Structure 1
Amino acid sequence: MRPLDNFISKLTQKPIFHKEFFAKMHTFKELEYVDVEDLAMLKLLGLPIGKYNNYVFTLETVSTPILEGKFCIVDIETNGSKPSTDHIIEIGAVMVEKGEIVGEFSSLVKTDILPESIVQLTGITLNELAHAPSLNSVLEAFRLFIKDAVFVAHNVNFDYYFISYALEQAGFGPLLNRRLDTIDLARKCIEAPKYGLSALA
């Protein structure tokens, strides 16, 4: 977990005075080129920041009932396991708000590198990706789709940090969305010998 994420998590425990919030946000390298005092910009990066009495900040998700919340359920495919050397080849997402599906996002991503093992795993072929949109255009569209919804995925850190790294490299800033791992959720709600998607399906 990034130090930035640890700080944001503190906002779920108690509100933070605005001067302390801004001073700390200025210290994170991921936000070096972000105007951290522009709350609209932070929301665009995914942080559901709420301001109270002009002096105190908290997260809107803290006081939002779960049935009233916005959740973006995300699944990506990649051509490898390392964000620094490998690439996203597909992003799929469903937006759920107040318990209803309100939007869908799906796009392949252009690349010229696709190991045969990934073809076998995903069913995606290099020919399909040759004419797909560029990574930057897909990331830009995804950023506008997810906004400040809670990022939900199975083994969420893989999808979350892969996308966040790609967004940073493209100059779009990191993901700041709150996130929810359906593996953790399944372990709390379902008794099962395994918690992979195939085992839970």
Structure 2
Amino acid sequence: MSKKPETIFTSSDPNVIVARLLSLKDVVPVAYHRHGPHQSIEIEQDLDTVLCPRCKVRARVKDRPRVPYIDLPVYGRPMGLIWRKHRWYCPSNDCAMGSWTSQDKRIASRHSRLTTRAAKRTTKQVGMGRTISKVAGELGCDWHTINHTVTVYGQALLDADRKRLSQTPAIGLDETRFVRLKQTPYPICDHATRYNQPPDH
């Protein structure tokens, strides 16, 4: 008889459940925190050897800052993600690299308060017509956080979609609006000028 594979819902091991909720390779769950209605998962990366970007000497850990992020809701409740990062330094006295903090866009982008998966889903939902206020309420954050995320990720999608404008067959111009302007860089044909100018008084 074949063994039925475990899922998030059939496993009873809390570490297994948290790991499967993360679904990120080389990311290890450290702890689950809950304070009243607020809950969060604390994670860290399983990093082996990190080299100095400048001199390629093996780097050492300087400290471990805990950076909070907003993640996708779990079972209809807001969920936070605490990333226990690695701040590295180069031990070589001849290197001027100084210290730096690990970054991983799979988890979260630089200067973002949302995890990458939460940011992508948020941008998609707002793009499909959901209001920013409703999405912010589901994630347990403010309106400005969602608006900033959608602006950044939405602009990146527009920049990457090079076929969007190449498939445009024509662009329509409103000659009536042009006539109302005292100065316009666009030439206006005679019939448009004759029929769209304001009446004389």
What TM-score do you get using the length of structure 2 for normalisation? 0.22
What TM-score do you get using the length of structure 1 for normalisation? 0.22
Q: Which has the higher helix share?
A: 1
